[in-house]
Chain A
Amino acid sequence: MSKNLKRNLVAYGLVLPAFLVVMLTVAYPIVLAVIQSFQDSKTGEFTLDNYTYFFTEPAQLKNILYTLYVCLMTVAIAIVVAYLLALYLRFVRSKIAKTIGTLYLVPRFVPAMCAVYAMITIIRDSGLINRIGLVFGHDVKLGLMYHANGMIMMNLWFNIPFAALMITAGLGAIPDSIIEGARDVGASKFKVFTSMILPLSIKDVVVAATFVFMSNVGSFTTPYLMGGSAPKMLGIALFDQFNKYLAYNRSAALSVIMFLICSVSAGVYIYTNLKENEWEK
């Protein structure tokens, strides 16, 4: 046996357990779900009904659009805020910046359920803000509970620290020397940002955006506790199909639809990662 072959076998051997686990717990169920999604619930024959249902039933179509709206808003706001935060943390050297730099990750360590309930007690129509308002004679009703805005706000709590973490890492890789160099030859701050910092960090921004998007498409806890009765986020719609209506074939179809929505974003992620930058060629 050649040395090369041996080394290859060892490598495969090391990868094999992980590969098998992934095949068994991820790939196999996905294949099953895809098959099931094309089957009639009673006869088991091939049908497209499970899919057409989600695109023709007005309530279900609204659910899909609603989910996209909530996710895209979350991504847009989270990324802008996170980027500004990351820029601040990277380029401002002060005690406040340092403190924020250590504190901004705290939300990541608060269990989701606690965070959601904490938010509810503050923003609900009878919550903390309302009570403070009452002291000053104003009956403040935010109307955030059971509304898309409340959910987006909650999503920001979870996602801004996460996105900021990724973007900060990217910005940290930009050496001070090139910025100082550019400033030396007379580039304005704005110019430095648009032609150096932004292009150098855009990859991390896109990656962060795809992650934020994907993690919100299937979210459950926040919409279950904070969402309204209709329209619903797809995570809840899927729960209804599976647990309430026991419509397993439709559940499978909805899972595939969610998978496809996510894979658009996964595609962007892979494309950005594969695309070589000019200077890397």
Chain B
Amino acid sequence: MKRRLLTMLLSAVMLAACLTGCGGKAGDSGNSGDAGSGGKKAVSLWATGSDNVREIFEALVSDFNTNSEYAGQYEVTLQFMLSGTGAQTLADMLAAASKAGQTNTDYDIVDLSGDDLSKLVSLIGQEQFVKLDSSKIPNAASVEAKSSIATDYCQPYRGTTVILAYDSAKVPTPPATMDELVAWMKANPGRFAYNTPGTGGAGDSFARSSVYNFLPEEAFTSDDEKWIGEWDEGFNFLKEIHPYIYSSGGSVVYPNKNQGTLDLLNQGEIDMCPNWADMVLSQRASGEIKDSIKITQIDPALTGSLQSLVIPTFGSNTDGAYAFMNYMLSPAAQELMVKQMAAIPLIDASSMDMTGYEDLQGLDVSNFRLQSIGGLSTSFNERWDSEIATIG
């Protein structure tokens, strides 16, 4: 019995080895010549995020493999790490591979959020990524958005930002600056809300921008503890606007989660709130929130983030990676991302079908305001909770 099992196992292994061997050969012979990269066809794309991100990447990969100009030339396979499930995050895995001195890995091209990128740059340095050759990414020529970190080593391909969501039926002309917003709040007490910082990025962005508007621009991307001492003016500002925030049951309320304020807006209990552009637009497109809800950006802008692609130097198919990078900035790919996740396109959207997402065209991506204050955010949230939430 045991012997029979062993025989079966062995033959299975041999069969598998044989098949993969043949497959590899076929692939090699198939594209030697047209791909100028020594003929390697397979490209591994690494990405992480929630399930909707996986879905969009699967759609993009299949479009790339079958419909794009690179179809047949390269074959991208998606390696997706669902966020919050693995013991190691993608950024940790890359850092580990780099520190272990691995070369020729299958980390061919990696999708990183702004946070992960800054984490990796501080862990292993930007030189661990290929310095990008713009001639190999022709579609990127029209992209104005630039990452503030590792600028020459990563290619942003989509963005999202916190904006001001408002009910256009009640507010025909939304405020254009922070000062106008404050004046509006005072004229319309109880009609504005932001969610408790630490429970969603929109509230984080609003509270932090409010405080950091009083600080020099460099503080925005610094985790130096010296800035904590300079928060007072900003917190006084938050205290000043506190009485004009939405209230229920006799006291001012900061709902939990981004969805908390969006629900209030949709129910007509408030007329304005900071929220994520993609969240508002995709819920509006699916009919979950009213059509009259529109988005606008104020000056100074609320913070956003750019999603970028990098090519680790320890990967094994640089040319394939460049091809996918270029594809991600093609009108077809950008349109797919607009439609499926209300991402802000980074290329000229005039040739794309933006039905339902026209608001995105009004957002200026070239002055994307990025923020990363690292570990200071815990002190920030703690101070907000004890000083602002408790005013009542």
**In the complex, which residues 244-259 of chain B have their Cβ closer than 8 Å to any Cβ of chain A?**
248-256
Asked if A229 contacts B250 (CB within 8 A), the reply is: no
Provide the residues of chain B in CB contact with A147, threshold 8 Å: 248-251
Report yes or no: A146 in contact with B255, Cβ–Cβ below 8 A: yes
Contacts of A243 in B (CB 8 A): 198
Are the CB atoms of A229 and B254 closer together than 8 Å?
Answer: yes
Once the chains are docked, how many angstroms separate the CA of A127 from the CA of B253?
17
Question: How many whole Å from A120's CB to the nearest CB in chain B?
Answer: 8
Q: How far is the CA of A147 from the CA of B251 in the complex (A)?
A: 8
Q: Is the interface of A mostly helix, strand, loop or mixed?
A: loop
Is A49 part of the binding interface, using a Cβ–Cβ cutoff of 8 Å? no
Within 8 Å of chain B (Cβ to Cβ): is A230?
yes
Contacts of A229 in B (CB 8 A): 196, 251-254, 389-390
Residue contact B248 to A59, C-beta cutoff 8 Å: no
User: What total of A-B pairs shows CB separation below 8 Å?
Assistant: 64
Given contacts A229-B254, A230-B392, contact A244 B198 (CB under 8 A): yes
**Which of B248, B381, B385, B392 sits near A125, CB closer than 8 Å?**
B248
Interface string of A144-159 (1 = CB under 8 A from B): 1111011000000000
- Pair B248/A245 contact, Cβ less than 8 Å: no
**Do B269 and A228 touch across chains, with their CB atoms under 8 A apart?**
no
The verdict on A184 contacting chain B, using a C-beta distance below 8 Å, is no
A245 touching B390 by the CB < 8 A rule? no
Residue of B nearest to A223 (CB): B256
- Is B249 within 8 A of A245, CB to CB? no
Min CB distance B74 to A, Å, is 42
A124 and B249 contact, Cβ closer than 8 Å, known pairs A225-B256, A230-B390, A245-B381 = no
> Given the complex of chains A and B, what is the CA–CA distance between A240 and B252 in angstroms?
19
| B38 interfacial contact with A, CB 8 Å | no
CB within 8 A of A146: which of B249, B267, B385, B390? Answer: B249
Assess whether B249 is in contact with A59, with CB atoms less than 8 Å apart.
no
**A145 and B248 form a contact (CB under 8 A):** yes
Q: B378 on the interface (CB 8 Å rule)?
A: yes
Q: Does the CB pair B392–A150 fall under 8 Å?
A: no
| Contacts known (A126-B268, A145-B248, A246-B378); A228 close to B198, Cβ less than 8 A | no
Are B253 and A146 interface neighbours, CB within 8 A?
yes
- CB neighbours of A240 from chain B (8 A): 198, 381, 385
Q: Is A51 an interface position by the 8 A CB rule?
A: no
Beta-carbon contacts of A86-118 to B below 8 Å, as 1s and 0s?
000000000000000000000000000000000
- Bound Cα distance from A129 to B372, whole angstroms: 44
Using Cβ atoms and an 8 Å threshold, which residues of chain A touch B392? 230
| Chain B 315-340 residues near chain A, CB threshold 8 A | none
Partner of B269 from the list A58, A59, A62, A126 (CB cut-off 8 Å) is: A126
- Cβ of A126 and Cβ of B390 under 8 Å apart? no
A280: Cβ under 8 A from any B Cβ: no
A245–B378 CA distance with the chains assembled, in angstroms: 5
A243, B378: Cα distance in complex, Å: 9
Cβ of A57 under 8 Å from chain B: yes
**In chain A, residues 120-172, which have Cβ atoms closer than 8 Å to a Cβ of chain B?**
124-127, 143-147, 149-150
Beta-carbon nearest neighbor of A57 in chain B: B386
B386 to chain A: closest residue by CB: A59
Contacts of B252 in A (CB 8 A): 229
Q: Mark A47-68, 1 if CB is under 8 A from B, else 0.
A: 0000000000111001000000
Residues of B within 8 Å of A246, CB to CB, are 378
Alpha-carbon distance A231/B385, docked complex (angstroms): 10
Closest to B195 in A: A229
Query: B353 within 8 Å of A by Cβ?
Result: no
Is A269 engaged at the interface, CB distance under 8 Å to the other chain? no
Residue of A nearest to B256 (CB): A224
Inter-chain contacts of B389 with A (CB < 8 A):
59, 229-230
Say whether, besides A124-B267, A230-B392, A144 and B198 are in contact (CB < 8 Å).
no
B225 at the interface (CB under 8 A from A): no
Q: Which residues of B contact A228 (CB under 8 A)?
A: 248-249, 251, 253
Is there a chain A Cβ closer than 8 Å to B382's Cβ? yes
Interface residues of A in 5-41 (CB under 8 A from B): none
Instruction: Report chain B residues within 8 Å CB of A149.
Output: 249
Separation of A244 and B252 alpha carbons in the complex (Å): 21
The reply to whether A146 and B248 form a contact with Cβ atoms under 8 Å apart is yes
Q: Which of A62, A143, A240, A244 has the most CB of B within 10 A?
A: A244
Decide if B254 touches A245 in the complex (CB within 8 Å).
no
A-B contact pairs, 19 of them (CB 8 A): A58-B390, A59-B389, A124-B267, A125-B269, A126-B268, A144-B249, A145-B248, A145-B253, A146-B249, A149-B249, A150-B249, A228-B248, A230-B389, A230-B390, A240-B381, A240-B385, A244-B198, A244-B378, A245-B382
Residues of A within 8 A of B (CB): 57-59, 62, 124-127, 143-147, 149-150, 224-225, 228-231, 240, 243-246
Known A240-B381, A243-B198; further 11 A-B contacts with Cβ < 8 A = A57-B386, A59-B386, A62-B390, A124-B267, A144-B249, A146-B248, A147-B248, A149-B249, A229-B389, A229-B390, A230-B385
Interface residues of B (CB under 8 A from A): 196, 198, 248-256, 267-269, 378, 381-382, 385-386, 389-390, 392
Complex A-B, nearest 8 residue pairs according to Cβ-Cβ distance, in ascending order: A147-B249, A143-B249, A229-B389, A126-B267, A146-B253, A244-B198, A230-B389, A230-B390
